[in-house]
């Protein structure tokens, strides 16, 4: 699932292609809005809110979309052949004289009044990449359910918006706890530093090319530092090796059965709330499935 930094990149591309331009083509291929015609209206802006995209259009309208697991928006020039997915997966087309934005496999696509956007995104917590970012509020929401597993709490967009499964796994590794450890069981001071690190990493990755999120190479200190006390004892393992291959941009995510970059123990994989979850059984303390 695209995470907050990737969704922000998508919003930036769509804004550059559509904002300030009059729509000359409009095609929403979902039954409820199939008859809606947006041609002749100017796109005002495209904004990311957590993992949601809001395309605001003249006349008080907003096209709300969410990419979920494999949705995508692609932008093409007038003479460019549309590519990447078969035509039957197209759910939306917005075009002007210079660009055409094509939405593929969009599981959420709805047209609503701009003054009713809260109906779609009002439930979200503070956005890690947004102007409303409020670490204190994010902490309060995370701590409101101290018995909840940390991994689930980090993914709950009502607590803080923008973290997906990749960041969940990586942040738990950096905190040296398993994603199944209850939020309230974290040592004092760790959660505030974890929230601050989440903001730092999303900001660091927001300008990288799509699908090249990097965690390991972004850190200038080893993963067991920078989060105050570590809940795991100091085992004397060497510091993590800096990643030297594309596959080692991340410490644990997608690295099942490969050696941990800190201690060499094979990374483990299990589901948490139906999402693949990666962790190191030696470096991370806490309950496991």
| Separation between Cα atoms, residue 200 and residue 230, nearest integer Å | 19
Instruction: Report the alpha-carbon distance of residue 52 to residue 203 in Å, rounded.
Output: 17
Q: Which residues are catalytic?
A: 2-3, 51, 275
Q: Which one-letter DSSP state was computed for residue 169?
A: H
d(C-alpha 186, C-alpha 171), whole Å: 13
State the maximum Cα–Cα separation within the chain, in Å, rounded to a whole number.
Answer: 66
Q: Which two three-digit tokens encode residue 269? A: 């994989």
Please answer whether residues 48 and 8 qualify as being in contact, where contact means their C-beta atoms are separated by less than 8 angstroms: yes
Strand order in the sheet with 90-95: 25-28, 90-95, 100-104, 72-76
Q: How far apart are CA 85 and CA 76, in angstroms?
A: 13
Token pair listed for 151: 């991994």
Contact call for residues 231 and 286 (beta carbons, < 8 A): yes
């Amino acid at each position: 699932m695209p995470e907050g930094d990737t969704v922000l990149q998508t919003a930036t591309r769509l804004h550059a292609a559509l904002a300030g331009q009059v729509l000359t083509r409009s095609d929403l291929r979902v039954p409820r809005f199939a008859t809606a015609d947006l041609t002749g209206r100017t796109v005002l802006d495209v904004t990311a809110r957590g993992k949601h995209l809001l395309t605001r259009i003249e006349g008080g309208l907003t096209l709300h979309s969410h990419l979920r697991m494999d949705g995508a928006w692609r932008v093409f020039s007038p003479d460019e052949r549309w590519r990447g997915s078969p035509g039957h997966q197209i759910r939306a087309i917005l075009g002007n004289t210079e660009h055409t934005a094509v939405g593929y496999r969009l599981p959420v696509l709805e047209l609503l009044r701009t003054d009713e956007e809260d109906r779609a995104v009002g439930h979200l917590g503070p956005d890690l990449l947004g102007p409303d970012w409020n670490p204190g509020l994010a902490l309060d929401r995370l701590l409101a359910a101290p018995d909840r597993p940390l991994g689930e709490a980090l993914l709950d967009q009502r607590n803080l918006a923008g973290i997906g499964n990749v960041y969940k796994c990586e942040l738990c590794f950096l905190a040296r706890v398993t994603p199944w450890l209850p939020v309230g069981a974290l040592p004092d001071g760790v959660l505030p530093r974890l929230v601050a690190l989440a903001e730092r990493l999303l900001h660091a990755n927001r300008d990288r090319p799509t699908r090249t999120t990097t965690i390991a190479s972004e850190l200038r200190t080893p993963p067991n530092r920078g989060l105050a006390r570590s809940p795991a004892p100091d085992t004397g393992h060497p510091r993590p090796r800096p990643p030297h291959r594309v596959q080692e941009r991340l410490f644990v995510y997608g690295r099942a059965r490969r050696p941990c970059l800190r201690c060499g123990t094979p990374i483990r994989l299990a589901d948490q709330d139906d999402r693949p979850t990666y962790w190191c059984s030696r470096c991370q303390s806490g309950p496991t499935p």
